[in-house]
Chain A
Amino acid sequence: MNIYLIVRLRGSLTNLALFIISLRSFWTRTPIFARVFSGLCFLEVVADIIEWMINRNDVQQITSNCVSLAELVIYSFIFLQIIHSKLVKWISSLLISILSLLYLWIFLRKGLSHPVTFDMELMDYAVFLIPAFTYFKEIFTFQQEGDLLKDFTFWFVTASLFIFASTIISRLGLFYLFTLKLGDYGNNFFLLSGLVFIIVNILYSKAYLCLRK
C-alpha cells in the first residue's frame, strides 16, 4: 500500500470518527452551529465513501467541489453566528457573497467536474481568517468569565483557524515548489497536510467533547 493511500485512509477514518463524536451535539446543550457543523462532517463522510467506491477522477472532482461549496456555506453561517463585530460581519458577508458568485460562475461556465478546489478553497480560507482572528480578539471582551479550555466555540474556532492557516501555507508552499519545478517535494507537503488534518479533527473532537448535557 503506498503512502498516499495510507494518508487518505487515515483522513477518511478521522472524518468518520469526528462525525460520530459530533453527533453528541444532538443530545447536549449546544449552540445551533455545532449541529450544523455535524451536517458538514456527514457530507465529508459521504464524499469519502463515494471517492473510495467510485475511483473516477471526474466523480472525485464533483464530490470535492460540492464539499468545498458546502464548507463555504456552513463556515459562513457559523462564523457569522460567532462573531459580534458588525463591521467584520459586513465585510465577511460581502467577501463570501463574491466567492459564492464566483463558484456559481465557474460551475455554470465549466461544469461541476471542473477542478476548482485548489484555488477556491485557498480564497475561502483566506476570507475565513478574518472572522476567526476577530473571534480571538472578541473573547477578551465578550467571553471574559468562561473557561476557554472548556468552551466549544474556542476549540471549534482554533481547529478552523488551524485548518485554514495550514491549508493556505501548505498550498502556497506547494505552489512555490511547483514553480521551482520541485514537484517531488510535494509528497512532503501531502504528508504534512495529512498530519495537520488529523490534528484538526482531534481539535474539533475536543470541541464536541466540551459539550455538556
Chain B
Amino acid sequence: MSKEIIGTVIIIICIIILLGFVLFIVNIISLHQKSREKFLLDLEQMKNNFRNEILQSELEMQEQTFEDISMEIHDNISQILLVSKLNLTMIEAAAPEVNEKIQYAVELLSRAMKDLRHLSRRLDSDIIRQEGLYKAIGEYIDQLRKSVTKEIIFNAQGIPDHLTLEKELILFRILQEAINNILKHADASRIVVDLSFSREQLQLEITDNGKGFNLAELLGQPGTGAGLKNMQKRIRMISGQFSMETEPGKGTRIDIRLPANPEEPNAITDSAGS
C-alpha cells in the first residue's frame, strides 16, 4: 500500500473518531433529556401524591372536628340548654310577675336549641356513612327548606350508592359549602341541585339565580377565592372536574363531574325528584 494511502487512511480514522465523539455527546444529551423528563414526571407525581395526602389528612381532621363538635352540641350544650329551659319554665310558674321576660328567654332558648340541632346534623357525617350521599343531600335540603325562605329544588337521576365514603363526604361538604356561599352572598331566590349518576360519570350541578360575580376578578384579588380553590383542590384529589360559570347579574352554576370508578359497581338507574 502506498504511503499516501496510509497517511490518508490514518487521517480519515482520526476524523471518524472525532465524529464518534460528537455522536457520543449528542447521545448523552438525548439520553439525559429522556431521563430528565422521566425524573420530572416522577417528581411531579410525588408532589401530587404528597399534596393529596396532606389534603386527605386535612379532610380527615376536619371530619373528626365536625364529629366532635356535633357530639358536643348533642350531648352537652343541648342538654345544658334543655335544663336551663326547664328551670326557666319552673321559675315562670313560681314568679308570674316576670312571666313575659321568661317566656321570651324560653323562646330564645328553644330557637337556639333548634339551630344547634340543625348544625349538629349538618356537621355529622353519620348520615352519609349510613344512608349514602343521595339521602344525605335530600335530608340536608329538607332542613334548609325549613330554615330559609328560598325555593330549593333537588333533582336526582340514578342513585350514587356505590361511591366510596371519601368521595361522598367530599361531594357532600362541597355541596354544603356551595349552598352556604349562595345563602350568604348570592342574594338568590332559587337554588337548584341536580345530581345524576350514569355508567360513565357522576355529575353534581348547583345553580342559583342570584347576582353572580366576576370570576376572573375574584380569583385575581389576593386573599380571595380561597373557598373556591379549596373546592377545586378537593375535586382534583378524587380525580374529578370542577367548573364554575358566573357573570354579574346572571347567577352562578357549579358543575362537578366524577368519572365512574370501574371498581365501583354502577348505580341503579332510577329517577328521583323532590
Q: Does A85 contact B (CB under 8 A)?
A: no
Q: Are B39 and A182 in contact (CB under 8 A)?
A: no
Q: Are B28 and A136 in contact (CB under 8 A)?
A: yes
- Distance in angstroms from B59 CB to nearest chain A CB is 31
Q: Does B112 contact A (CB under 8 A)?
A: no
Q: A166-B18, A166-B21, A182-B6 are in contact. Are A139 and B28 (CB under 8 A)?
A: yes
Chain A residues closer than 8 Å to B43, beta-carbon distance: 145
CB nearest to B32 among chain A residues = A148
Chain A residues closer than 8 Å to B32, beta-carbon distance: 139-140, 143, 148
Chain A residues closer than 8 Å to B7, beta-carbon distance: 177, 180, 182, 184-185, 188
The listed residue (B21, B28, B29, B36) touching A144 by CB distance below 8 A is: B36
CB nearest to A182 among chain B residues = B7
- Distance in angstroms from A50 CB to nearest chain B CB is 30
Contact digits for B1-12, partner A, Cβ 8 Å, 1 yes 0 no: 001001100110
Q: Are B10 and A170 in contact (CB under 8 A)?
A: no
Chain B residues engaging chain A, CB cutoff 8 angstroms = 3, 6-7, 10-11, 13-15, 17-18, 21, 25, 28-29, 31-33, 35-36, 39-40, 43
Q: Are B36 and A169 in contact (CB under 8 A)?
A: no
Q: Are B10 and A145 in contact (CB under 8 A)?
A: no
Q: Are A165 and B11 in contact (CB under 8 A)?
A: no
Query: How many chain A residues touch B (Cβ–Cβ < 8 Å)?
Result: 29
Q: Are A182 and B11 in contact (CB under 8 A)?
A: no
The listed residue (A136, A143, A147, A177) touching B10 by CB distance below 8 A is: A177
* A residues 77-127 in Cβ contact with B at 8 Å: none
CB nearest to B18 among chain A residues = A166
**Bound form: Cα–Cα A40–B35 in Å:** 34
**Bound form: Cα–Cα A170–B15 in Å:** 9
**Bound form: Cα–Cα A93–B103 in Å:** 95
CB nearest to B8 among chain A residues = A185
Q: Rank and list the top 7 A-B pairs by shortest CB-CB distance, nearest first.
A: A185-B7, A144-B39, A182-B7, A173-B14, A169-B14, A148-B32, A169-B17
Highest count of chain A CB atoms <10 Å: which of B3, B11, B14, B40: B14
CB nearest to A165 among chain B residues = B21
